[in-house]
């Protein structure tokens, strides 16, 4: 049985306290719909909402409460307003900020030669024996996950702001176009 109350779609259970949070978020005029996902067990005792990333139709949130975690998708044309709402109601704790920042700065201080292809060839990643074997469970092309202490795993796209991601996409397109042009010349 599906029903909605204050823009929150209720098809199955919602973790403790999260319904009130989502209904409050649903009061924002920019929010069209809120669709909670499945509930999973988490070892975190936190009770909060975490903004994960923007999607094509809005954004993804993680709801955490008393050892449970649930994803929720917010349908909106303005995911930044949802991010601001989450940060206002559930500001990051000092411990989380300190855990995330040292790793982020260490990544940003890596010097490059200015040639992205040369940099890519010169970087060596440690591989275990297990990682070098092909696996049916491993899908190629997934972003590499970064672990930052006790914080949820992040991928590179989540660490970059939207302007940087757009610039990288444009660069990637230009590189692909120029490599196609060079292949046609030869």
Specify the residue for token string 């978020």: 25
Q: What is the pLDDT of residue 101?
A: 46
Please report, for residues 86, 158, 173, 178, the alpha-carbon distance to residue 162 in angstroms, rounded to integers and kept in the order given: 18, 9, 16, 24
**Coil/strand/helix, residue 29:** coil
Classify residue 138 by its DSSP letter. Answer: P
Q: Rounded to a whole number, what is the largest CA-CA distance in the chain?
A: 63
Which pair of structure tokens corresponds to residue 10? 């209720």
d(CA 16, CA 129): 43
The lowest-confidence range among 20-24, 45-49, 68-72, 93-97 is: 93-97
Classify residue 126 by its DSSP letter. Answer: -
**Coil/strand/helix, residue 10:** strand
What does the pLDDT look like over 63-122, one tens digit per residue? 998 888 999 999 999 999 999 999 999 887 655 544 444 444 444 444 555 555 555 555
Q: What is the pLDDT of residue 59?
A: 95
The lowest-confidence range among 12-26, 32-46, 49-63, 95-109 is: 95-109
Q: Exposed (0-12), middle (13-18) or buried (19+): which is 180, by Cβ within 10 Å?
A: exposed
Which pair of structure tokens corresponds to residue 167? 């610039």
Q: What is the pLDDT of residue 176?
A: 81
Scored b (16 or more CB within 10 A) or e, 53-71 reads: ebeeebbbbbbbbeebbbb
Looking at the predicted structure, is the pLDDT value of residue 1 above 50?
no
d(CA 146, CA 45): 22
**Coil/strand/helix, residue 67:** coil
Q: pLDDT > 70: what percent of the chain? A: 55
User: What distance lies between CA 88 and its chain's CA centroid?
Assistant: 19
pTM (predicted TM-score): 0.48
* Cβ neighbours, 10 Å, residue 79: 21
């Amino acid at each position: 049985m599906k029903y909605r109350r204050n823009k929150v779609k209720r098809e199955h259970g919602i973790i403790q306290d999260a319904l009130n949070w989502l209904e409050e978020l649903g009061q924002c005029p920019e929010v069209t719909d809120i669709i909670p996902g499945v509930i999973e067990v988490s070892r975190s005792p936190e009770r909060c909402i975490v903004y994960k990333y923007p999607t094509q139709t809005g954004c993804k949130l993680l709801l955490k409460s008393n050892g449970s975690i649930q994803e929720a998708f917010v349908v909106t044309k303005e995911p930044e307003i949802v991010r601001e709402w989450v940060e206002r109601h559930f500001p990051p704790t000092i411990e989380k900020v300190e855990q995330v920042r040292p790793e982020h700065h260490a990544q940003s201080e890596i010097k490059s030669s200015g040639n992205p292809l040369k940099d890519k060839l010169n970087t060596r990643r440690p591989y275990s024996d297990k990682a070098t074997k092909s696996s049916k469970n491993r899908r190629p092309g997934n972003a590499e996950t970064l672990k930052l202490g006790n914080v949820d795993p992040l991928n590179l796209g989540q660490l970059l702001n939207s302007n940087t991601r757009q610039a990288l996409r444009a660069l990637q397109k230009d590189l692909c176009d120029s490599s196609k042009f060079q292949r046609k010349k030869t």
